[in-house]
């Protein structure tokens, strides 16, 4: 008869055997279950223009990814509007339940990059032999960087161009500016255009609407802040040039506040537009609904004496949660959206933005797609769009940037509108902004 010690050993052995069997069965079952990745997306366009099926690109990217990765499923919650997306994502972050991969709005990027929500991509990208940062336009790639490290990849971009009312210029006998035009060309045309056409003593035809001092600064080759955000350059001579130009340009309107309605009615020659607006409102039927009363086109922004015909780039980003349980699969999914040439080309067909990979935008297929958007005999110069993307700039990425710009904007508008004297104003502003940055 077995001793009680032997019986205990036998029971322990049987228990261990049962545990191994259960674990093996559970592990086998787990291996048969599909891995699930969650992505964060929103409905509608990121560029404030009408959009068609906003999920068509997402669904196609998922279809290709699942086909290439058997046993992996990707899902998302549909119906989240763009205006609600930031709050929706923030709630998921607070609950530590954010998606594995998600779109990152530009207003949220700095916060998520500095608080550890976004996975740093620099190490992974550096070890991936199938990924080359050089494939991207520099400005688009740097949009997802913070303090020199990559926290998100660009998905699509839109630069800013200058909308030109060709009908109004033709009526006034003024030739269409070329893409190498300058501030002085811009100012001269605005002076010729702005006048009283009905004899009531007030101007009712105008040179420009919605052109800002920030755009003047960019086209005059000035970066307003050090990259670390500890110092500003509002007293720089290029800033002085921009402000004097804006004072002269604003004075052309003779105190009249030009409105969007004036522009829509064809009474304004120039207005900065995003390329997304160009693509949306150029082809039929949207051009009929929006701007049917006049012919128009887009060119580069005018260059300042110390700069060139460039513009700020706005870029839609995607990133990976630092808490994802599938970092490698999430990286592959991120690449599918942001790096795969097939998905990048699909952006040209289904979205209003531009692909962020050079080879896609420079391809013959891209040229054909963009030419489809041009009514009649008008042709989109893809080489010009490529130049704009190549030379575009991005705003700095430091914590106090937006507040510093708001403070500066309030003061500079007073100067531009002659509510405060210009003498020594920029030196004073620089000291105030620097004190705020260094506090």
Please determine, for residue 309, whether its predicted confidence score (pLDDT) is greater than 80: yes
Question: Looking at per-residue confidence, does 375 or 318 come out higher?
Answer: 318
pTM of the predicted protein model: 0.87
User: How far is the C-alpha of 193 from the C-alpha of 195, rounded, in Å?
Assistant: 6
Grade residue 439 by pLDDT with cuts at 50, 70 and 90: confident
Grade residue 287 by pLDDT with cuts at 50, 70 and 90: low
Options 3.40.190.10, 3.30.1440.10, 3.10.20.30, 3.40.50.300; which CATH number does 159-312+395-438 get?
A: 3.40.190.10
Please determine, for residue 143, whether its predicted confidence score (pLDDT) is greater than 90: yes
Q: What local confidence, expressed as pLDDT, does residue 97 receive?
A: 96
Q: What local confidence, expressed as pLDDT, does residue 29 receive?
A: 44
Q: What local confidence, expressed as pLDDT, does residue 12 receive?
A: 67
Q: What local confidence, expressed as pLDDT, does residue 26 receive?
A: 46
Please determine, for residue 376, whether its predicted confidence score (pLDDT) is greater than 80: no
DSSP letter string over 182-231? Answer: BHHHHHHHHHHH-B-SSSSSS--BEEESS--HHHHHHTTT---B-TTSS-
Grade residue 189 by pLDDT with cuts at 50, 70 and 90: very high
Express as a percent the part of the chain with pLDDT over 70.
Answer: 88
Q: What local confidence, expressed as pLDDT, does residue 32 receive?
A: 52
User: How far is the C-alpha of 391 from the C-alpha of 190, rounded, in Å?
Assistant: 26
**Mean pLDDT score across all residues of the chain:** 89
User: How far is the C-alpha of 25 from the C-alpha of 22, rounded, in Å?
Assistant: 5
- Identical topology for domains 35-158+314-379 and 159-312+395-438: yes
Please determine, for residue 379, whether its predicted confidence score (pLDDT) is greater than 60: no
- 100-120: average pLDDT: 95
C-beta contacts of 216-219 below 8 A and 24+ residues apart: 216/183, 216/242, 216/245, 216/246, 216/304, 217/242, 218/301, 218/307, 218/310, 218/311, 218/312, 218/393, 219/183, 219/301, 219/302, 219/303, 219/304, 219/307, 219/308, 219/309, 219/310, 219/311
Q: What DSSP state is assigned to residue 400?
A: T
Q: Are 247 and 416 in contact (CB under 8 A)?
A: yes
Q: What local confidence, expressed as pLDDT, does residue 177 receive?
A: 96
User: How far is the C-alpha of 82 from the C-alpha of 55, rounded, in Å?
Assistant: 13
Question: Looking at per-residue confidence, does 30 or 268 come out higher?
Answer: 268
What are the boundaries of each domain within the chain?
35-158+314-379, 159-312+395-438
Options 3.40.190.10, 3.10.20.310, 3.60.21.10, 3.40.250.10; which CATH number does 35-158+314-379 get?
A: 3.40.190.10
pLDDT digits (tens, 9 = 90+) for 50-94: 877 779 999 999 999 999 999 999 999 999 999 999 999 999 999
Count of beta carbons in the 10 Å neighbourhood of residue 74: 24
Matching residue, tokens 């960019």: 218
Q: What H or E segment, with its residue span, contains residue 272?
A: strand 268-274
Q: What local confidence, expressed as pLDDT, does residue 194 receive?
A: 96
pLDDT digits (tens, 9 = 90+) for 196-229: 988 888 899 999 999 999 999 999 999 999 988 9
Q: What local confidence, expressed as pLDDT, does residue 279 receive?
A: 83
pLDDT digits (tens, 9 = 90+) for 311-348: 999 999 999 999 999 999 999 999 999 999 999 999 98
Grade residue 289 by pLDDT with cuts at 50, 70 and 90: low
Q: What local confidence, expressed as pLDDT, does residue 8 receive?
A: 65
Q: What local confidence, expressed as pLDDT, does residue 221 receive?
A: 97
From first CA to last CA, the distance across the chain in angstroms is: 84
Express as a percent the part of the chain with pLDDT over 90.
Answer: 70
Grade residue 355 by pLDDT with cuts at 50, 70 and 90: very high
Grade residue 255 by pLDDT with cuts at 50, 70 and 90: confident
CA-derived radius of gyration, the chain: 27
- 250-271: average pLDDT: 93
């Amino acid at each position: 008869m077995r001793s009680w010690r032997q019986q205990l050993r036998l029971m322990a052995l049987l228990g261990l055997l049962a545990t191994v069997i259960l674990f093996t069965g559970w592990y086998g079952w787990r291996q048969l279950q599909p891995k699930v990745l969650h992505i964060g997306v929103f409905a509608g366009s990121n560029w404030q223009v009408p959009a068609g099926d906003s999920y068509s690109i997402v669904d196609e990217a998922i279809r290709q990814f699942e086909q290439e990765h058997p046993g992996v499923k990707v899902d998302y919650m549909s119906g989240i509007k763009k205006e609600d997306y930031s709050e929706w994502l923030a709630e998921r972050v607070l609950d530590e339940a954010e998606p594995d991969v998600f779109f990152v709005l530009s207003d949220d990027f700095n916060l998520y990059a500095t608080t550890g929500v976004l996975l740093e991509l620099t190490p992974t990208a550096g070890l991936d032999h199938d990924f080359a940062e050089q494939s991207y336009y520099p400005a688009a790639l740097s949009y997802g960087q913070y303090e020199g490290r990559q926290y998100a990849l660009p998905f699509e971009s839109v630069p800013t161009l200058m909308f030109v009312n060709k009908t109004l210029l033709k009526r006034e006998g003024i030739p269409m500016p070329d893409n190498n035009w300058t501030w002085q060309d811009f100012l001269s045309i605005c002076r010729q255009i702005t006048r009283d056409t009905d004899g009531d003593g007030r101007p009712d035809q105008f040179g420009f609407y919605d052109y800002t001092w920030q755009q003047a600064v960019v086209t005059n080759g000035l970066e307003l802040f050090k990259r670390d955000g500890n110092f500003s350059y509002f007293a720089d001579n290029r800033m002085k040039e921009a402000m004097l130009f804006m004072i002269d340009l604003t004075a052309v309107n003779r105190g009249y506040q030009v409105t969007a309605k004036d522009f829509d009615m064809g009474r304004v020659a120039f207005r900065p537009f995003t390329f997304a607006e160009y693509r949306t409102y150029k082809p039929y039927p949207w051009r009929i609904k929006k701007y049917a009363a006049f012919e128009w086109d887009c060119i580069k922004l005018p260059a300042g004496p110390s700069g060139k015909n460039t513009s700020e780039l706005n870029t839609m980003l995607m990133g990976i949660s630092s808490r994802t349980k599938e970092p490698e699969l999430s990286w592959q999914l991120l690449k599918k959206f942001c790096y795969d040439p097939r998905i990048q080309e699909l952006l040209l067909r289904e979205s209003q933005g531009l692909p962020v990979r050079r080879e896609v935008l420079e391809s013959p297929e891209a040229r054909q797609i963009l030419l489809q958007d041009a009514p009649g005999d008008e042709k989109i110069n893809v080489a010009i769009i490529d130049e704009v993307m190549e030379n575009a700039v991005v705003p700095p990425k430091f914590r106090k940037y937006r507040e510093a710009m708001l403070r500066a904007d309030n003061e500079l508008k007073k100067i531009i509108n002659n509510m405060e004297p210009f003498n020594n104003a920029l030196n004073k502003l620089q000291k105030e902004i620097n004190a705020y940055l260094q506090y």
